[in-house]
Structure 1
């Protein structure tokens, strides 16, 4: 059985997604740092969960080759 090229490409896409998401959140840290501590905590919790949403279709594509 020949290894699929989708898995290494998908892994690189996941790393790129994480890197871009982290850079976006860090770029907002100056603004977010001025907010109340509880609002900051809520923001970072939500931001820490949201990045997972695009992974489901990406992981499905890595396994099956289909987006849907």
Structure 2
């Protein structure tokens, strides 16, 4: 007879979600703190900077997502 897998939620999910929100808020605060200097740049350079910075925050979150799912930092 096959046993059903245990699908109870773990504490990792809410803790991970809070950590992701904290990372996003911290990242936005860091980038916004440079807005005065960035405003002096040409418009195209600003656009490239903000697009790149909008993608870069994902890299520290990837291991966190892995940890939330499987309980280890690396797959």
Shorter chain as denominator, the TM-score bin is over 0.9
Q: What is the TM-score of this pair, normalised by structure 2?
A: 0.87
Q: Which moved more, 1:14-23 or 1:51-60?
A: 51-60
* 1:56 aligned partner: 62
Q: Which runs of 4+ in 1 moved over 2 A?
A: none
**Rounded Cα–Cα distance in structure 1 between residues aligned with 2:45 and 2:21:** 28
* 1:25 aligned partner: 31
Does residue 65 (structure 1) correspond to residue 68 (structure 2)? The answer is no
Structure with greater Cα Rg: 2
* 2:42 aligned partner: 36
Structure 2 unaligned spans of 5+: 1-5
* 2:3 aligned partner: none
- Other structure's SS at 1:53 match: helix
RMSD between aligned residues: 0.8
Q: What is the TM-score of this pair, normalised by structure 1?
A: 0.95
Number of aligned residue pairs: give it. Answer: 68
- Other structure's SS at 2:58 match: coil
- Other structure's SS at 1:55 match: helix
